[in-house]
Structure 1
Amino acid sequence: MELDWQLLERLCEAPGVPGHEERVAAIVHSALQPLVDELRSDAMGNLIGIRRGRADRRIMLAAHMDEIGFLVRYIDDQGFLRLQPVGGFDPRVLVAQRVSVWPRQGEPLLGALQLATKPIHLLTSEERKAPALEDLYVDLGLPPDDVRARIELGDMVTLARDFVRLGPTVLSKALDDRVGVFVMLEALRHLEQHEVEILAVATVQEEVGLRGAQTAAFGLEPDVGIALDVTIAGDVPGIDADDRVTRLGEGVAIKVFDTSHLPSRPLVEHLREIAERHGIRYQLELLPRGGTDAGAVQRTRAGVPAVTLSIPTRYVHTVNEMAHVADIAGAVELLVRYLAEAHERSYQPYSW
């Protein structure tokens, strides 16, 4: 199965923090349009592609377009920017990174994300402490008047980091969750036969509370929901074996627990059967903290059987997220094969 890795690169390198997903949405719109019978956006900014089928069942796929980042909160007298986080960055990974600041008009400005502290040469041992997000600022290297003329409160700030291939892996900012969007698009591109109606939703504002998925699911009323997202691959130094969640390169993850939803057990079993039948490597995922769009879809209206297919990813919520191309390809194949036979099963929790 040939995948369009250049599409994943374009998705990852596009900026789009919660509420500012329009540049990502433009790429998704172009890729999704030839794959569906109807394409529209809603009041929240979700992109909704509908691919019609013959069976009376609606499967909602949800992958979020937004990435964690910042908004400009304050511009001081020297032209330094203070930031409002949108999504959960670990401040330990941010010091001395480069960022892009996206004004309402014009080209982005490159800046240095620095810690408001004395240089390490001047710090006493008592003064050294773990960084906090409120201690960070952006230096654009411009006179204060130039900064104020070009930047205003609420402008988007993203990490400036390219997408690269490292052997059998990809390394980039925003794999969470552009790789999920990519899996959804590539599955639709490779899907030939299906009976169900497919609702392919590129959602917004997942990183600030699953907001786009909640409103989209309420309006679409799906029969089944599948979120496509990343999960922790903790197979690295510093993480004990019982905290690893998944391992890189050992297959797509089928979620069985996170703190946003308990996946439908019949749906989990169906996915496992398909994977075993077709020789698709998979892992079972229990994520002790965190959630996905499936948590919002599951609780819409009277309830929806839901599950998450996850791509194991090292260094989640940092500037260097890493995923294995075989795990990504496995997620695409499992989703394609599921959609081809999704009309055959009922996911009622009880058989009596």
Structure 2
Amino acid sequence: MEPIDIELLKQLCGIFAPSGNESALTKYLIEYVETQQDNWKTKPELIYGEEFQDCLILKFGEPTTAIFAHLDSIGFTVRYENQLVPIGGPEVESGDLLVGHDAMGPIECKIKDEDGHLFYDFGRGIESGTDLVYKCDFRETEEYFQSCYIDNRLGVYNALKVAETLENGLIIFSCWEEHGGGTVSFLCKWMYEKYKVKQALISDITWITDGVTHGQGVVVSLRDSSIPRREYVDKIIALAEASGVPYQIEVERSGGSDGREIQQSQYPIDWCFVGAPEDYVHTPNELVHKADITAMVTLYKYLMNNL
């Protein structure tokens, strides 16, 4: 099973990249790939630029399957008179620490929730339009990691670990997932029309529920608010079974991922959500079991070699 690169995961969780403001993480990933790729089994082609906005694609060999991992996190935008507007769906508690930067300098402030109306508590006014995110407090115990933005920096981490041994495939880092999506449609167009790639895995994080628990393996989702094509999902489950990697089955009525946008695109692309489960979702204290991280990376490597 895969060892965990704690420092890489910690760095990823601390990078400022709320929905619509992902460029710092994109630049980090480009630099990371350029410095690490000589140690990988296959050097990828890096694809990015204005036509891809802040998205990044790594192309390995002759791809038949794509991994999608969204870069963005939930957060907040400063409005007027100390008001905050959520980015995505943060679960807020008064006193949570937020960080950011405006024209007057760095910001570290507390959030106040007054009957569902959000405000910041800071010693000066913050420039309207400034994005703020949870302050990263990365913690480790014998069995768990806990931090803000494990959703979806763990999905990004997983993709980077798979990249180390990948020979054929696409790794696609998307944007805006937490706030309605918007990039996956043109990414689907690009990968289908250029390479005829018709199958995808969604490298994202799901929830601990009554049917999904810590330490029991990576989750293969049969459905959330969207329903992937069952023939493809059954293929993923058969491969998961053959791999010997611990996994869990998820069935939910709500929630979503980049898979929703793939399904709504005009292209016949199959998808399946495969990811570790976490507790305290969309808070500064997201909690994931180390064994589930290891299972996620190990199963992805197996799937990408066998799909």
Does TM, normalized by the shorter one, top 0.5? Answer: yes
In structure 2, C-alpha distance between the alignment counterparts of 1:12 and 1:245, rounded to whole Å: 27
Aligned partners of 2:141, 2:232: CA distance in 1, in Å? 34
Query: Is the counterpart of residue 210 in structure 1 residue 218 in structure 2?
Result: no
Q: Which one is further off, 249-258 or 267-276?
A: 267-276
Q: For 2:85 and 2:293, how far apart are their aligned partners in 1?
A: 32
State which of 132, 137, 140 in structure 2 corresponds to 1:157.
Answer: 132
8 Å contact from structure 1 (residues 258, 291) kept in 2:
yes
Instruction: State whether structure 2 residue 207 is matched by structure 1 residue 201.
Output: no
Distance 1:60 1:300 in 2: 15
CA RMSD of aligned residues (A): 1.8
Structure 1 unmatched runs, 5+: 117-130, 235-243, 343-352
Q: Which amino acid aligns with 1:73?
A: R
Point out the more displaced range, 59-68 or 295-304.
295-304
Measure, in 2, the Cα distance between the counterparts of 1:274 and 1:43.
Answer: 32
Cα–Cα, structure 1 residues 184 and 288, in superposed 2: closer, same or farther, change >3 Å? same
- In structure 2, the residue matched to 1:258 is 224
Match of 1:68 in 2: 74
- Distance in 2, matches of 1:107 and 1:246, equals 43
- In the other structure, the counterpart of 1:110 is 108
Aligned to 1:49: 58
Of 112, 119, 143, 1:168 maps to: 143
Which stretches of structure 1, 4 residues or more, deviate above 6 A after TM superposition? none
**Residue of structure 1 equivalent to 2:83:** 82
Distance in 2 of aligned mates of 1:115 and 1:280: 42
SS of the equivalent of 1:152 reads: coil
Q: What is the percent sequence identity of the aligned residues?
A: 26
Q: Is the 8 A contact 1:45 1:204 kept in 2?
A: yes
Q: By how many angstroms is 1:220 displaced? A: 1.8
- SS of the aligned residue for 1:186 comes to helix
Query: What is the TM-score normalised by the length of structure 2?
Result: 0.90
TM alignment of 1:247-326, pairs within 5 A: 247-259=213-225, 261-326=226-291
Aligned-residue offset at 1:269: 2.2
Judged with a 3 Å threshold, the aligned counterparts in structure 2 of structure 1 residues 32 and 245 are, in CA distance, closer, same or farther, namely farther
- The separation in 1 between residues aligned to 2:199 and 2:149, in whole angstroms, is 27
- Structure 1 counterpart of 2:45, one-letter code: D
Q: Which whole-Å deviations, capped at 9, do the CAs of 1:244-282 have from their partners, x for residues lacking one?
A: 2411110000010111x3123232222222222231000
CA contact (8 A) 2:99 2:108 kept: yes
Deviates more, 1:21-30 or 1:322-331: 21-30
Which range is displaced more, 65-74 or 39-48? 39-48
Question: With structure 1 as the length reference, what TM-score do the two structures score?
Answer: 0.79
Listed as ranges, the gaps of 5+ residues in structure 2 are: 38-42
1:107 to partner: Cα distance: 4.8
| Aligned length in residues | 294
